[in-house]
Amino acid sequence: MFTGSLVALITPMDLKGNVDQVSLKKLVEYHIANGTSAIVSVGTTGESATLDHNEHIDVIKRTIDYADGRINIIAGTGSNATKEAIELTNKVENIGVIGCLTVAPYYNKPTQEGMYQHFKAIAENTELPQILYNVPGRTSSDIKPETVARLSKIKNIVALKDATGDLSRVYKTRRLVGNEFKLLSGDDATFLDFMILGGDGVISVTANVAAKQVATVCKLAANNQIQEARAVNDSLLALHNNLFIEPNPTPVKWACTRLGLIDNGTIRLPMISLSESSIPAVEQALKDANLL
């Protein structure tokens, strides 16, 4: 259920900054047609930080409606306030998601015990499977492998999205959590190596524009066809890097617009549109991936 190519889906917006439902439906169809395993709705890439609660839940509900049971949907429900994370999780409990992605508390920088208690409290207030999300570059909080191991003993905490890019963690975490607990990369540039070292898949930004290729790499890696997986992934290397040339999701929204997947790359403040100086690098990356 939590393996393969999962996309960290963007939230398309119209020129006024409202959620663009037509483009959202188009994106869902694109991922169904191109072999994406699951959609993560309203995570970091989906601009969870700037959607209000009503918008947040509405985007998830509409994504489920558009999917119509043809692809699994995971809801981003994290917060640095435990009570708020529980409330968001409860709101998606009976609408058709298969699980929740819950980010490490940001800004307030809890201890390891604080993070353990945070995730434990969320898990105890829902029956939905929980995916821990560790992204220290954004949160200034780092869920250590030992804490992940403690949390993995809670029955509905079933996976980790690791966006550290530290491949040395894969083996260490796998040894601590066992084989049933799923390890997902959150770093496109290293996700293939992450899988080779024992990971189960990726929650990918690149998949927004190269869904078929990322899904193919995951399938090949899972079948231990490493040379073939590298050949496909090599064409994506520039994308893996240049989609982060400016803070995510600015470059990937521009790329989705360039490919006609959405109508425009509108993004909410304090994020701003891709700068003119960065456009050539992102466009060349799309060409390197044979997407243009």
pLDDT band at 22 (very low <50, low <70, confident <90, very high): very high
Evaluate whether residue 80 is within a structural domain: yes
Evaluate whether residue 90 is within a structural domain: yes
What percent of the chain has a predicted confidence (pLDDT) above 90?
A: 100
Evaluate whether residue 230 is within a structural domain: no
How far, in Å, are 21, 23, 213, 274 from residue 31 at the CA level?
16, 13, 11, 24
What pLDDT, in 10s, does the model give residues 165-190? 999 999 999 999 999 999 999 999 99
Evaluate whether residue 65 is within a structural domain: yes
Please indicate if the annotation marks 203 as binding a ligand: yes
Half-sphere exposure of 15 (CA within 13 A, CB side): 1
Q: Is the pLDDT of residue 254 over 90?
A: yes
pLDDT at 285: 98
Q: How far apart are CA 23 and CA 292, in angstroms?
A: 20
Evaluate whether residue 250 is within a structural domain: no
What pLDDT, in 10s, does the model give residues 199-221? 999 999 999 999 999 999 999 99
Evaluate whether residue 243 is within a structural domain: no
Q: How far apart are CA 91 and CA 113, in angstroms?
A: 26
Is this model's pTM higher than 0.85 or not?
yes
Evaluate whether residue 291 is within a structural domain: no
Residue 193's nearest CA partner among 234, 254, 136 is: 234
Q: Is 28 helix (H, G, I), strand (E, B) or coil?
A: helix
pLDDT at 220: 98
C-alpha angle with apex 14: 12 to 18, nearest 5 degrees? 85
Specify the CATH number for the domain of residue 133. Answer: 3.20.20.70
Residue 246's nearest CA partner among 211, 214, 273, 265 is: 273
How far, in Å, are 52, 135, 170, 261, 276 from residue 43 at the CA level?
13, 12, 22, 19, 26
The pLDDT of 135-141, averaged and rounded, is: 93
Domain count, the chain: 1
For residue 97, what are the domain limits?
Answer: 4-223
Which positions are annotated as active-site residues? 133, 161
pLDDT band at 270 (very low <50, low <70, confident <90, very high): very high
Q: Is the pLDDT of residue 1 over 90?
A: no
What pLDDT, in 10s, does the model give residues 36-84? 999 999 999 999 999 999 999 999 999 999 999 999 999 999 999 999 9
pLDDT at 56: 97
Evaluate whether residue 137 is within a structural domain: yes
